Amino acid sequence: MLLRWDYMNERRQQIDPDRAGTVGWYIIRIANPSLAGSVTRSVDAELANSTAETRTETEQAFQAGFVAMSGSIISSLKVLAIVLNGITLLALANTLFMAVRERTKELAVLRTLGFRPSHLTALVTGEALLIAGLGSILGIAITIPATSIYGALVSAKLGNFSQHLTLYSSTLLLSAFVTLCIAVCAAAFPSMTILRGKIADGLRNAV
């Protein structure tokens, strides 16, 4: 695509004055590829210690830099996902612990009526799954429109330089499955308290 730079720069002064009168990339074609190294060093040396220093590299190295940057972003997102899942596990486990402690007397009464510890464990696990299920549904309901908005904003800023952001149904299913697994793990801690507790202790501590 060919265009008048002065026209484009005039528009830049209106919408993005900080970038007006500047150039982001220069593309240099050389007849002999074996001279790429010397040409790179010559260009950078010519503009060294100036107000517009350059970093000249081959197209292959330029593309590899974008790939490496994308890999770092993905790795950071993975670490962030692990941390958030850990926080979710602790928050849900703490909620269940508080719920079990507040209902110590009720649970002890249920055991006197013939409920087994496994029945009470099933109740706690069911409560955890219900909380996690509602949270998963709410999260998916927010994620779908948020992804569309984010993809539109990125495409508007970067255009063809950014890949199209697609939210697959398998990703949503995996998120819901991980959430339910976290619920089961969080329910394990208060369940152990129920299994180890005695009826008399539960009635005595609740009075």
Instruction: Give the amino acid at 48.
Output: A
Q: Give yes or no for a contact between 142 and 148, defined as CB atoms under 8 angstroms apart.
A: no
- Determine the Cα–Cα distance for residues 178 and 181; give it in Å rounded to an integer: 5
* Alpha-helix residue ranges (DSSP H) falling in the chain: 5-15, 36-46, 59-102, 104-112, 117-158, 169-196, 199-206
| pLDDT for the residue numbered 207 | 46
What average pLDDT does the structure give for the chain? 79
Instruction: Classify residue 1 by its DSSP letter.
Output: -
| pLDDT for the residue numbered 203 | 59
pTM for the predicted model, two decimal places: 0.52
pLDDT in tens, 63-108: 777 767 766 777 887 888 888 878 877 887 777 777 777 777 777 7
- Determine the Cα–Cα distance for residues 120 and 100; give it in Å rounded to an integer: 10
- pLDDT band for position 30 (cuts 50, 70, 90): confident
- Determine the Cα–Cα distance for residues 42 and 161; give it in Å rounded to an integer: 29
- Determine the Cα–Cα distance for residues 202 and 110; give it in Å rounded to an integer: 11
**Nearest-CA neighbor of 186 among 102, 92, 67?**
92
pLDDT in tens, 165-204: 677 888 888 888 888 888 888 778 777 777 676 666 655 6
Q: What is the mean pLDDT of residues 138-153?
A: 84
Look at the block and give the residue holding tokens 């697994």. Answer: 181
Instruction: Give the amino acid at 181.
Output: C
Burial grade of 203 (CB within 10 A; 0-12, 13-18, 19 or more): middle
Give the number of other Cβ atoms within 10 Å of residue 25's Cβ: 6
